[in-house]
């Protein structure tokens, strides 16, 4: 195990900054330590339970823990929304375990958003050694032989929404005894349940309440929810459960001080490219040429990879499977991509994060690096290991990658090695963002803004969990939002945490969930009230479609097979990645990502080992790969088209129109590029024959009259580039006002759209039926677009760069783009759009 770090966070940061001739740190925020406010144990807490906590080092609880536990003990639904490492687990364990001790027949159901967190909580509950509780995990990793024992004997079952949806509720008859005696439902890290995923989980919880009532639990179980600090947690928890929920938000736990640095990678020196393609000349495209950004159907941790296991986390992967490189952005090696404007290229955030991880590990500092994509985590870990081995042979073995798609044994071994200090550094997706008690970490490096302030503080809070001072570093990507934030620290440290956005009334969620409920037991009129607004209309639509049959006693599911409903709406079953020569299962990739990550010829990384995909069989859900170390990487390319279905609301602002409505988006992966790893040079582009995917969702869009653009100084030939650049920047800045991530949304811009007959910019939710992000953008239009305009104008580049108007997921290779004309376009919109 590693000893204490050799330097304080401030001294460590000073050393890291000295690596660069120009200081990369734009701001340092000192979060001061805080003393805790203890409270006496509640009188109803059994002495046996107090003694168990005392053995685990908990002599006295904190006040917020006692307040939340007291509400739950009084059978009031409660959410405790406090900071990382504030002891939220005791707030729900205390009333739950006290009830299990008082009532030998009572049961508790715990829902975690990741398998790692459920396993961590299982260890915590088992370590208390409370007789008769018999805690057990019941998820996709649970051996078949153990499942029957758990159903019959465990009184504290730890699972996740996926297993509740796919396994427990469909088999409710086998769980009837457990459900009849269910006293508490614990929903941990409930801020994760947002967007379409959160809307699905809201109905899964309503289905759970329905089955408990059917088996005699008429009062229903008490819900205790735990959340990171978020805006209006009581309202969000109420939407999630369908019940009135009280909120405990004052954090009275002690907190160590945190030194939080905002880090902007330096510009690379100009170095003319000697090979590779040159940028295409600006041309006047036909209408719709600027396809812009598209939705990406992938999740970070272990969701679709194992459907009955971990749900999708808040952030999504880029279309290429890695956020960098892309045209005009450095490759993971840190070198600039060929054909880019070298005066405007920054060092890769992946490379910068890898170097910081290597430097902190070399200094004996236990560090966790959060990387936004699975491939990015592999790249960072591999690069850090290489650097460490060059300095001290063998030291690279103390660094590893952690991501979704790994097999259960690999994940558990990595968690054990990190907890015991065998690993000094870990590059992880946000699979480790949530609740796992990573005691002893000294530093966290965050590669790219994670999409919300809630996630940012969750990730930063992974360090310092033993009470010691900690260092957190946010490394900005070459991205409009990241660049904006590192130069506007008040938007990070002075702004409130976002509210969780979910919409259980989403028809694309409500209908399938009612079908699932009907398959479990016939629906009755009383059930429709439980499922809320729109349930009656959704049932009528299911009857008309032939999915339900109406009888005097209710609505019955008509088919033998259960409804195939994916909680994340990511499209398609998981795809197994198999080594062709040996038949060894390497891991899995969610179906939505398979077109981008596992197409024939794709390079696939697994724990630093490189494989090339020989074939992808979507029908059988299998990709065959062979080990190979090519000197190139692969980047899938797609095309997108969009049509307007309906308009829900609009603002007529003279030459500007602002709209909210439904759209149909069609996208298809049509080719992939091979690029030299060392230089970013494009070797070739190869065609792919993959099926198109269709998405009906909600979008916000604005139109401008051609006359207003001419008056603003935008020549007609420059309109496509102006709109395209404004679209990219608007997508990049939307997470500033909505609880979303760049990868949750897509966009399209065109000089003349056939449905609007005008220059138009669309931004749409990347989820069937929408996820509430477009509605938020519509309501915050002026704030959103003003921040977008400022981010472009304040960027130091001349013609546009990834920090302002270039996009990592552009289907047109970031061409055409016009930075100055994008500012003029947004000026026209902001001048005419009312506040």
pLDDT computed for residue 289 by the predictor = 34
**pLDDT digit string (tens) for 204-226?**
999 999 999 999 887 899 999 99
pLDDT computed for residue 465 by the predictor = 63
Higher pLDDT among residues 34 and 439, named by residue? 34
Which residue in the block uniquely carries the two structure tokens 């941790």?
301
Q: For residue 640, give the nearest of 534, 560, 746 by alpha carbon.
A: 746
Task: Using the Cα atoms of residue 680, residue 682, residue 688 and residue 691 in order, give the sign of their dihedral.
Answer: positive
Higher pLDDT among residues 258 and 799, named by residue? 258
pLDDT computed for residue 811 by the predictor = 62
pLDDT computed for residue 339 by the predictor = 34
Question: Mean per-residue pLDDT for 54-65?
Answer: 94
Token pair listed for 586:
């390497």
**pLDDT digit string (tens) for 641-682?**
999 999 999 999 999 999 999 999 998 999 999 988 766 688
Per-residue 3-state assignment (H helix, E strand, C coil) for 65-89: HHHHHHHHHCCCCEEEECCCCCCHH
Question: Mean per-residue pLDDT for 235-250?
Answer: 95
pLDDT computed for residue 639 by the predictor = 84
Higher pLDDT among residues 238 and 441, named by residue? 238
Whether 622 and 670 have beta carbons less than 8 Å apart is answered as no
Higher pLDDT among residues 194 and 727, named by residue? 727
Strand, coil or helix: 241: helix
Token pair listed for 588:
């899995």
Question: Mean per-residue pLDDT for 765-789?
Answer: 89
pLDDT computed for residue 741 by the predictor = 65
Report how far residue 81's alpha carbon sits from residue 248's, in angstroms, rounded to the nearest whole number.
6
Q: CA 450, 454, 460, 464: dihedral to nearest 10 degrees?
A: -160
Q: pLDDT band at 612, cuts 50/70/90?
A: very high
**pLDDT digit string (tens) for 271-290?**
554 444 333 333 333 333 33
Per-residue 3-state assignment (H helix, E strand, C coil) for 762-823: EEEECCCCCCCHHHHHHHCHHHHHHHHHHHHHHCCCCCCCCCCCCCCCECCCCCCCCHHHHH
Whether 735 and 452 have beta carbons less than 8 Å apart is answered as yes
> How many helices (H) and strands (E) in the chain?
25, 27
Report how far residue 590's alpha carbon sits from residue 580's, in angstroms, rounded to the nearest whole number.
20
> Which of 129-138, 228-237, 349-358, 391-400 is least confident?
228-237
pLDDT computed for residue 730 by the predictor = 93
Whether 651 and 658 have beta carbons less than 8 Å apart is answered as yes
Q: Which pTM value belongs to this model?
A: 0.74
* pLDDT at residue 302 is higher than 50: no
Per-residue 3-state assignment (H helix, E strand, C coil) for 289-340: CCCCECCCCCCCCCCCCCCCCCCCCCCCCCCCCCCCCCCCCCCCCCCCCCCC
pLDDT computed for residue 809 by the predictor = 66
* pLDDT at residue 174 is higher than 70: yes
User: What is the chain's length?
Assistant: 835
Percent of the chain with pLDDT over 70: 86
Report how far residue 131's alpha carbon sits from residue 124's, in angstroms, rounded to the nearest whole number.
14
Residue 150: partners with Cβ closer than 8 Å, 6 or more residues away: 136, 138, 142, 157
Angle (CA) 555-559-564 rounded to 5° is 100
Give percent helix, percent strand, percent coil of the chain, each to the nearest 5.
35, 25, 40
Q: pLDDT band at 159, cuts 50/70/90?
A: very high
Chain centre to alpha carbon of residue 329: 23
Whether 663 and 697 have beta carbons less than 8 Å apart is answered as yes
**pLDDT digit string (tens) for 18-57?**
888 889 999 999 988 889 999 999 999 999 999 999 999 8
Angle (CA) 580-584-588 rounded to 5° is 95
pLDDT computed for residue 313 by the predictor = 30
| Beta strands at 554-557 and 760-765: parallel, antiparallel or unpaired | unpaired
Whether 227 and 238 have beta carbons less than 8 Å apart is answered as no
> Which of 296-305, 599-608, 747-756 is least confident?
296-305
Which residue in the block uniquely carries the two structure tokens 């960072």?
380
Report how far residue 474's alpha carbon sits from residue 597's, in angstroms, rounded to the nearest whole number.
27
DSSP 168: I
**pLDDT digit string (tens) for 461-489?**
888 766 688 999 999 987 777 888 898 89
pLDDT computed for residue 512 by the predictor = 93
Angle (CA) 206-207-211 rounded to 5° is 115
Higher pLDDT among residues 411 and 673, named by residue? 673
Q: What's the mean pLDDT when you consider all of the chain?
A: 84
Whether 248 and 62 have beta carbons less than 8 Å apart is answered as no
Token pair listed for 271:
């170095």
pLDDT computed for residue 309 by the predictor = 29
pLDDT computed for residue 286 by the predictor = 33
Higher pLDDT among residues 299 and 613, named by residue? 613
pLDDT computed for residue 640 by the predictor = 86
pLDDT computed for residue 742 by the predictor = 67
Token pair listed for 73:
């003990």
Report how far residue 428's alpha carbon sits from residue 536's, in angstroms, rounded to the nearest whole number.
44
Whether 199 and 503 have beta carbons less than 8 Å apart is answered as yes
**pLDDT digit string (tens) for 724-739?**
999 999 998 888 877 6
Whether 187 and 240 have beta carbons less than 8 Å apart is answered as yes
pLDDT computed for residue 699 by the predictor = 96
Percent of the chain with pLDDT over 90: 53
* pLDDT at residue 229 is higher than 50: yes
> Which of 243-257, 527-541, 660-674, 761-775 is least confident?
761-775
pLDDT computed for residue 606 by the predictor = 79
Question: Mean per-residue pLDDT for 88-98?
Answer: 96
pLDDT computed for residue 327 by the predictor = 25
Q: What DSSP letter does each residue of 657-670 carry, written as one string?
A: EEEEEEEEEEEEEE
pLDDT computed for residue 461 by the predictor = 82
Q: For residue 759, give the nearest of 707, 815, 835, 810 by alpha carbon.
A: 707
**pLDDT digit string (tens) for 492-533?**
887 777 777 788 888 878 999 999 999 999 999 999 999 998
């Amino acid at each position: 195990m590693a000893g204490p770090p050799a330097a304080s966070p401030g001294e460590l940061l000073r050393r890291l900054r000295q690596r660069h001739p120009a200081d990369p740190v734009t701001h340092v925020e000192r979060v001061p330590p805080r003393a805790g406010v203890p409270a006496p144990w509640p009188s109803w807490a059994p002495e046996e339970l107090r003694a168990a906590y005392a053995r685990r080092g908990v002599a006295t609880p904190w006040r917020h823990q006692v307040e939340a536990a007291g509400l739950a003990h009084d059978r009031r639904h409660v959410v405790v929304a406090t900071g990382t490492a504030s002891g939220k687990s005791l707030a729900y364990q205390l009333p739950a375990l006290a009830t299990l001790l008082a009532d030998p027949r009572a049961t508790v159901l715990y829902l975690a958003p990741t398998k790692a967190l459920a396993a961590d909580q299982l260890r915590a509950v088992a370590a208390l050694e409370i007789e008769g509780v018999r805690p057990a995990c019941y998820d996709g990793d649970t051996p078949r032989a153990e499942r029957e024992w758990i159903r019959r004997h465990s009184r504290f079952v730890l699972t996740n929404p996926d297993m509740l949806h796919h396994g427990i509720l469909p088999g409710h008859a086998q769980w009837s005894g457990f459900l009849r005696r269910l006293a508490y439902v614990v929903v941990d890290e409930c801020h994760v349940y947002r967007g379409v995923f959160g809307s699905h989980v809201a109905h899964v919880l309503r289905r759970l309440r329905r089955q408990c009532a059917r088996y005699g639990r008429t009062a229903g179980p008490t819900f205790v929810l735990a959340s990171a600090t978020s805006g209006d947690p009581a309202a969000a928890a109420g939407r999630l459960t369908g019940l009135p929920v009280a909120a405990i938000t004052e954090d009275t736990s002690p907190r160590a001080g945190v030194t939080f640095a905002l880090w902007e990678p330096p510009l690379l020196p100009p170095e003319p490219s000697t090979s590779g393609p040159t940028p295409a000349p600006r041309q006047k495209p036909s209408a719709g040429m600027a396809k812009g950004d598209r939705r990406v159907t992938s999740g970070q941790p272990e969701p679709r990879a194992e459907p009955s296991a971990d749900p999708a986390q808040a952030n999504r992967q880029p279309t290429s499977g890695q956020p960098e490189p892309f045209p005009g952005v450095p490759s993971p090696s840190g070198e600039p991509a060929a054909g880019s404007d070298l005066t405007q290229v920054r060092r890769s955030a992946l490379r910068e994060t890898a170097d910081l991880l290597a430097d902190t590990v070399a200094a004996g500092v236990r560090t966790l690096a959060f990387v936004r994509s699975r491939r990015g985590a592999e790249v960072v870990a591999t690069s850090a290991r290489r650097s460490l081995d060059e300095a001290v042979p063998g030291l690279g073995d103390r660094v590893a990658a952690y991501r979704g798609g790994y097999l259960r044994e690999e994940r558990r071994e990595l968690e054990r090695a990190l907890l015991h200090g065998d690993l000094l550094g870990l590059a992880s997706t946000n699979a480790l963002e949530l609740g796992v008690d990573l005691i002893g970490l000294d530093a966290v490096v965050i590669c790219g803004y994670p999409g919300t302030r809630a996630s940012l503080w969750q990730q930063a809070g992974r360090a310092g969990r033993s009470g010691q001072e900690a260092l957190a570093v946010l490394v900005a990507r070459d991205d409009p939002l990241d660049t904006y934030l590192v130069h506007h620290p008040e938007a990070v440290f002075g702004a409130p945490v976002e509210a969780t956005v979910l919409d259980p009334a989403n028809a694309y969620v409500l209908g399938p969930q009612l079908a699932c409920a009907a398959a479990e037991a016939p629906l009755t009129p009383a059930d429709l009230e439980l499922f809320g607004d729109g349930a009656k209309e959704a049932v009528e639509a299911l009857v008309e479609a032939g999915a339900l049959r109406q009888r005097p006693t209710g609505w019955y599911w008509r088919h033998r097979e259960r409804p195939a409903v994916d909680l994340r709406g990511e499209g398609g079953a998981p795809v197994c990645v198999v080594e062709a020569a040996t038949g060894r299962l390497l891991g899995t990739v969610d179906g939505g990502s398979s077109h981008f990550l596992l197409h024939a010829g794709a390079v696939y990384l697994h724990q630093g080992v490189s494989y090339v995909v020989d074939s992808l069989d979507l029908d059988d859900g299998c990709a065959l790969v062979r080990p190979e170390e090519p000197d190139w990487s692969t980047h899938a390319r797609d095309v997108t088209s969009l049509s307007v279905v309906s308009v829900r609301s609009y603002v007529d602002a003279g030459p500007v129109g602002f709209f909210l409505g439904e759209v149909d988006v069609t996208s298809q992966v049509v080719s992939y590029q091979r690029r030299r790893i060392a230089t970013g040079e494009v070797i070739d582009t190869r065609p792919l024959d993959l099926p198109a995917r269709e998405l009906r969702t909600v979008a916000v869009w604005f139109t401008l009259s051609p006359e207003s653009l001419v008056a603003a100084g935008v020549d007609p030939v420059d309109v496509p580039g102006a709109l395209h650049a404004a679209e990219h920047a608007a997508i990049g800045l939307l997470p500033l006002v909505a609880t979303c991530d760049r990868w949750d949304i897509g966009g399209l811009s065109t000089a003349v759209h056939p449905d609007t007959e005008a220059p138009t910019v669309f931004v749409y939710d990347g989820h069937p039926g929408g996820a509430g992000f477009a509605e938020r953008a519509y309501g915050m239009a002026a704030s959103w677009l003003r921040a977008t305009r400022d981010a472009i104008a304040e960027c130091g580049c001349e013609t546009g760069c990834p920090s302002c108007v270039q996009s990592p997921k552009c289907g047109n290779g970031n061409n055409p783009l016009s930075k100055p004309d994008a500012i003029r376009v947004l000026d026209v919109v902001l001048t005419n759009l009312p506040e």
